[in-house]
Structure 1
Amino acid sequence: MPHIVIEYTPNLPDLPFDAMLAAVTRELAQSPEVGDEADLKARVLRAEAFRVGLADEGRGFIHVTVRILEGRSATAKKDFSDRVANGMLSCMPAMPEAMSVYLSVEVVDMDRGSYRKVRVG
């Protein structure tokens, strides 16, 4: 915890995912809610089939889900969301004028009772 999942549409130009992951984890590691930076686990997933509204082309999205253990305040969740958005935007390349790209961030609670983490090795 936290788990960071970046989903994106394949119609976007090459995005600097290594830099984005580094920026997002660096931002979150500075949060007082994160005790150990090694708890940050981030990955990128490509959404092969997608739609953005009714348009057949010219639109794409990047959606970041941050899964955290339940019990955080609304203020802490907003801080996580802001940190992630700032990290992503700091690495965002210029998009072609004909492309509308939507960046969204969602902070989701994980159930403490069912979550289990074990360090192997």
Structure 2
Amino acid sequence: MPHFIMEYSANLDDDLDIPGLFEKLNETAISTGVFPIGGIRTRAVRCEHFRIGEGDPENTFVHLTAKVGAGREPEVLKAASDKVFETFTAYLKPVFDKCWMSIGFEMIELHPERNYRMNNIHKKLADKK
């Protein structure tokens, strides 16, 4: 983990470079030293139906959620959240400057007893070393 889930308004299709943004988000997550590389997932959900603010069809939104495993100190998660948000907003700034846009980000810590995973990517990465 983290699992990054980005929802965005469909009217941003021509303006968002999603692969480029995801590359930067993953690089940032890795650079924090907080998250194992094999646990990072990044995906986008295009929202065809949306209404923002007063309903102006030119309004746009991008919301990023990072789901992380439990057990890290709050200040560690805060520092990682700050770095991710900085990367996220810096990457989106050129679009933000030309569109009416709402940008959101939240980091959610998953419950330690009700979060199940199975992942062999960690082994693959360890075997490469």
- TM-score band by shorter chain is 0.7 to 0.9
User: Which residue in the other structure is 1:88 paired with?
Assistant: 88
Q: Which runs of 5+ in 1 are unaligned?
A: none
CA distance, structure 1, for counterparts of residue 97 and residue 4 of structure 2: 29
If the length of structure 2 is used for normalisation, what is the TM-score? Answer: 0.79
Which deviates more from structure 2 when the two are superposed, residues 94-103 or residues 7-16? 94-103
User: Which residue in the other structure is 1:107 paired with?
Assistant: 107
Which has more helix, going by share of residues?
Answer: 2
Q: Tell me if the contact between 2:68 and 2:109 (Cα under 8 Å) persists in the aligned partners.
A: yes
If the length of structure 1 is used for normalisation, what is the TM-score? Answer: 0.84
Tell me whether 1:75 sits opposite 2:72 in the alignment: no
Alpha-carbon RMSD: 2.2
1:31-42 residue pairs with structure 2 within 5 A?
31-34=32-35, 36-42=36-42
Deviation at 1:51, TM superposition (A): 1.5
Q: Which runs of 5+ in 2 are unaligned?
A: 122-129
Which deviates more from structure 2 when the two are superposed, residues 57-66 or residues 85-94? 85-94
Which deviates more from structure 2 when the two are superposed, residues 17-26 or residues 96-105? 96-105
Q: Tell me if the contact between 1:64 and 1:105 (Cα under 8 Å) persists in the aligned partners.
A: yes
CA distance, structure 1, for counterparts of residue 90 and residue 99 of structure 2: 19
Q: Tell me if the contact between 1:67 and 1:107 (Cα under 8 Å) persists in the aligned partners.
A: yes
Q: Paired residues, what number? A: 120
Counterpart AA for 1:41: R
Q: Tell me if the contact between 1:3 and 1:41 (Cα under 8 Å) persists in the aligned partners.
A: yes
Q: Tell me if the contact between 1:8 and 1:45 (Cα under 8 Å) persists in the aligned partners.
A: yes
Q: 1:51-86 CA distances to partner (integer Å, 9 max, x unpaired)?
A: 111233221111000001123333223223222223
